[in-house]
Amino acid sequence: MDPLKALTDAERKPYWLDSTAKPEPQARLFGNTTADLAVVGGGFSGLWTALMAKERDPSLDVVLLEGRRIGWAASGRNGGFAMATLTHGIANGLERWPEEISTLEHMGLRNLDEIGETVTRYGIDCGYERTGELHVATEPWQLEEMHESAQVARELGVRFDVMDADRVRAEVDSPTYVGGMWERDGCAMLDPARLAWGLRQACLDLGVRIYERTPVRSVKDVPAGLDLLTPYGTVKAARVALGTGVFQPLLRRLKHFLVPVYDYALMTEPLSAEQLASVGWHNRQGVGDAANQFHYYRLTQDNRILWGGYDAVYYNGGKIKPEYEQRDETFVKLAEHFFTTFPQLSGLRFTHRWGGIIDTCSRFSAFYGQSHGGRLAYAVGYTGMGVGATRFGANVMLDMLSGERTERTELRMVKEKPIPFPPEPIRSAGIQMTRWSIARADLNQGRRNLWLRTLDRMGLGFDS
Ligand SMILES: Cc1cc2nc3c(=O)[nH]c(=O)nc-3n(C[C@H](O)[C@H](O)[C@H](O)COP(=O)(O)OP(=O)(O)OC[C@H]3O[C@@H](n4cnc5c(N)ncnc54)[C@H](O)[C@@H]3O)c2cc1C
């Protein structure tokens, strides 16, 4: 199949956000107001924080301020893999916090259970399916690594089933697979935009005041708390939670720890019954291949395939621009890889193509902190795995703001910060060198060159 032909009619916008379920925006903030808690950011981080603040204490006066529209950014345009992991996978967590990894794995599973319970409790129609994730190997070295990972996971009480090529192909059929591993409990599939809109409605129903198209320009210390300055009004809040993702941070210190990385995805038209039968996929797992430059893919409720990943693009200088959300070169590459993986789907068309920004930090998993005398808390840096973990981060922020010491706040993972990225232009040079080295490793049986090994030793990395 000619990838260009398959892409011809694809709309240049995120599939999930292109939906009739998209609600009308809440009004902007005009004038001044007060709040016990002001949440900045209307992605998953902010929405979970506002919702759980009201669940913890219904009498709390909570305001949420979103600069654009609820869920417009990463939260409404991602792959919709809600993962249990809080550490960007067991291997990363084990390397950084070996004494905590077992606790972190169990906390992550509980967090994912609670996401499922919340979806049911509020009747959020987001296609939530706890199908797990199928990690597929397309090279023998990837399968060897899977056997090692499964062994480690078993020792931590987590079940990963390693499968040979026949068993994997009985699940999802691609001639490129040499084996795989099914992580049955650790992942749920969902429609991320409908989750964000459902959380928004749940917040409104519990009395959270949401202001959209209301960017917070700055945070100012005042005697009774903090003032959040917006274009047409100010919120005077006793406590503030920042769920602002990768955007121009309101706390200057955060910019040393975060880089914006663009990730891209395609959505196909719905598969016919025959096309679906040719792939199998009866258990509807999310799928990810095990290369360093990996693809992730999944079925939607109406049996389209979302196909994303591989290229993780850092634009020099860390620039964020709307035009970066489209990248022809990447879409053609992704389409080619799609038809190599599923040659039986030749003729299938893509209906949507889009990109989004990942808030990448050097430890690949979120970090947390406080400022302004403990009155402001933040959780950022999810590095492409925030659909599930943002709810955990929201709980950390609420724990911190309450002044309580909890099982979460006492974790070393929560107390420590990642290593900052070096300043520009060294930052850009280092990241491009790392991307080049990662691509080389995939061509070289996963073998990491001196540059990657040095970064590994320093605990510094780059990922999407
Ligand atoms: C293409 C793509 C695919 C992905 N796939 C997956 C996946 O399958 N699984 C997974 O776990 N993760 C995935 N991710 C990552 C995941 O989407 C994010 O980790 C998660 O959505 C982060 O949520 P957030 O609320 O912290 O940030 P965001 O969703 O970026 O939300 C931040 C919000 O804050 C607002 N904001 C920022 N500054 C201000 C301000 N000063 N005033 C007011 N508002 C402000 C922004 O407008 C934005 O709405 C993917 C990301 C992308 C881009």
Angle, vertex CA 316, rays to CA 445 and CA 427, nearest 5: 70
Compute, in angstroms, the gap from residue 245 CA to the centroid of ligand 1.
5
Residues having CB closer than 6 A to ligand 1 are: 40-46, 65-68, 72-75, 77-81, 83, 215-216, 243-245, 247, 250, 263, 265, 308, 356-358, 382, 384-388, 390
The answer to whether the CB of 170 falls within 8 A of the CB of 181 is no
Compute, in angstroms, the gap from residue 247 CA to the centroid of ligand 1.
9
Ligand 1 atom with least separation from CA of 354? 1
The best mutation among 13, 49, 75 to test binding of ligand 1, ranked by most ligand atoms within 8 Å of the C-beta, falls on: 75
Tens of pLDDT, residues 191-214: 999 999 999 999 999 999 999 999
Tens of pLDDT, residues 293-317: 899 999 999 999 999 999 989 998 8
Whole-Å CA distances, 217 to 65, 71, 229, 373: 11, 19, 6, 20
Residues 6 or more apart whose CB falls under 8 angstroms from that of 248 comprise none
HSE-CB for 427 with a 13 A CA cutoff: 22
Compute, in angstroms, the gap from residue 169 CA to the centroid of ligand 1.
33
- pLDDT bracket for residue 463 (50, 70, 90): low
Q: What is the amino acid identity at position 436? A: W
Compute, in angstroms, the gap from residue 234 CA to the centroid of ligand 1.
24
Ligand 1 atom with least separation from CA of 357? 53
> What pLDDT is stored for residue 222 in this prediction?
94
Ligand 1 atom with least separation from CA of 393? 26
Ligand 1 atom with least separation from CA of 83? 11
Structure tokens at 132: 């797990």
Compute, in angstroms, the gap from residue 344 CA to the centroid of ligand 1.
34
Ligand 1 atom with least separation from CA of 286? 8
Compute, in angstroms, the gap from residue 75 CA to the centroid of ligand 1.
4
Measure the CA–CA gap between 386 and 382, rounded to whole angstroms.
5
**Residue range 406-410: average pLDDT?**
98
> How many CB atoms sit inside 10 A of residue 71's CB?
29
Percent of the chain with pLDDT over 70: 99
> What pLDDT is stored for residue 462 in this prediction?
64
Peptide bond into 425 cis (omega under 30): yes
Compute, in angstroms, the gap from residue 74 CA to the centroid of ligand 1.
3
> Residue whose CA is closest, atom 15 of ligand 1?
384
> What pLDDT is stored for residue 162 in this prediction?
94
- pLDDT bracket for residue 402 (50, 70, 90): very high
Tens of pLDDT, residues 234-254: 999 999 999 999 998 899 999
**Residue range 262-278: average pLDDT?**
98
> What pLDDT is stored for residue 241 in this prediction?
98
User: What ranges in 88-238 are assigned the alpha helix state H?
Assistant: 90-96, 101-121, 140-155, 165-171, 192-205
> What pLDDT is stored for residue 461 in this prediction?
67
Ligand 1 atom with least separation from CA of 217? 41
Compute, in angstroms, the gap from residue 457 CA to the centroid of ligand 1.
29
Measure the CA–CA gap between 57 and 402, rounded to whole angstroms.
11
Three-state DSSP at 371 gives strand
> What pLDDT is stored for residue 444 in this prediction?
80
- Measured N-to-C along each axis, helices 44-56 and 389-402 cross at an angle, to the nearest 10 degrees, of 50
Compute, in angstroms, the gap from residue 410 CA to the centroid of ligand 1.
26
> Residue whose CA is closest, atom 10 of ligand 1?
385
Tens of pLDDT, residues 86-120: 999 988 999 999 999 999 999 999 999 999 999 99
> Residue whose CA is closest, atom 9 of ligand 1?
81
Ligand 1 atom with least separation from CA of 388? 11
- pLDDT bracket for residue 58 (50, 70, 90): very high
Whole-Å CA distances, 221 to 141, 190, 191, 226, 239: 54, 39, 39, 5, 11
Whole-Å CA distances, 266 to 9, 166, 306: 12, 27, 6
Burial profile 327-364: b = 16 or more Cβ within 10 angstroms, e = fewer: beebbeebbebbbebbebbeebebbbbbbbbbbbbbbb
Tens of pLDDT, residues 409-454: 999 999 999 999 988 888 888 888 888 888 888 788 888 888 788 7
- pLDDT bracket for residue 464 (50, 70, 90): low
> Residue whose CA is closest, atom 11 of ligand 1?
385
> What pLDDT is stored for residue 254 in this prediction?
94
Measure the CA–CA gap between 152 and 397, rounded to whole angstroms.
31
What are the backbone dihedrals phi and psi of residue 424, each rounded to the nearest 5 degrees, phi first?
A: -70, 150
Structure tokens at 348: 């299938």
The answer to whether the CB of 355 falls within 8 A of the CB of 73 is no
Whole-Å CA distances, 234 to 211, 214, 219, 221, 420: 12, 10, 10, 13, 32
> Residue whose CA is closest, atom 41 of ligand 1?
216
